[in-house]
Amino acid sequence: MAMPKVINIQSDLDIVAARMAARDMAKAMGFGAIDQARIATAISELARNIYLYAGEGTVTVSEVQQGIRKGLEVICDDQGPGIEDISLVMTDGYTTSKGMGMGMPGARRLMDDFEIISIVGEGTKITCRKWKR
């Protein structure tokens, strides 16, 4: 199994670095072109959220196994302001004007598993996975 990769998110350059790391790992694991694009796009959305709303944080990309299925797991972690109303940010079209309001719900649709833990004033941790078919 490939070593987990941690990408520090501090600037818009790191957003591209994070999605490239995720894509490279997805490719190495044998994900098809469409799933590679789904994973890379989801990570781009989540890494941008870290950059825009928390200022900094980390994206960790790793290979996971559950029984016989293999997957790619992405953990986005920040110590930012946290999300007050998670159901609101997961609504299509909700935006704070910096994007199209598609980031969070879109990323959830592109991945298979999607979990958010957020504490106001402490930060947000999003764990998402894509399983190989």
23 binds other proteins (CB under 8 A): yes
Three-class DSSP category at 107: helix
Three-class DSSP category at 21: helix
In this chain, which stretch among 62-70, 82-90, 92-100, 118-126 interacts with other proteins, using CB under 8 A? 92-100
Contact map string, positions 62 to 81, toward other proteins, x by CB under 8 A? --------------------
Phi, psi of 82 (to 5 degrees): 80, 170
Residue 123 near residue 79 (C-beta atoms within 8 A): yes
What separation in angstroms does the CA of 94 have from each of 40, 99, 113?
Answer: 22, 9, 21
Given candidates 37, 90, 116, 117, which one binds other proteins under the rule CB under 8 A?
37
Three-class DSSP category at 101: coil
Q: Which residue, 83 or 111, has its beta carbon nearer to other proteins?
A: 111
Given candidates 2, 4, 10, 13, which one binds other proteins under the rule CB under 8 A?
13
130 binds other proteins (CB under 8 A): no
The C-alpha atoms of residue 130 and residue 123 are separated, in whole angstroms, by: 24
In this chain, which stretch among 2-10, 18-26, 68-76, 124-132 interacts with other proteins, using CB under 8 A? 18-26
Residue 125 burial by CB count (10 A; 0-12/13-18/19+): exposed, middle or buried?
A: middle
Given candidates 64, 90, 102, 116, which one binds other proteins under the rule CB under 8 A?
102
Give the binding site for other proteins (CB under 8 A). Answer: 12-13, 15-16, 19-20, 23, 33-34, 36-38, 40-41, 44-45, 48, 92, 99-100, 102-103, 105-106, 109-110
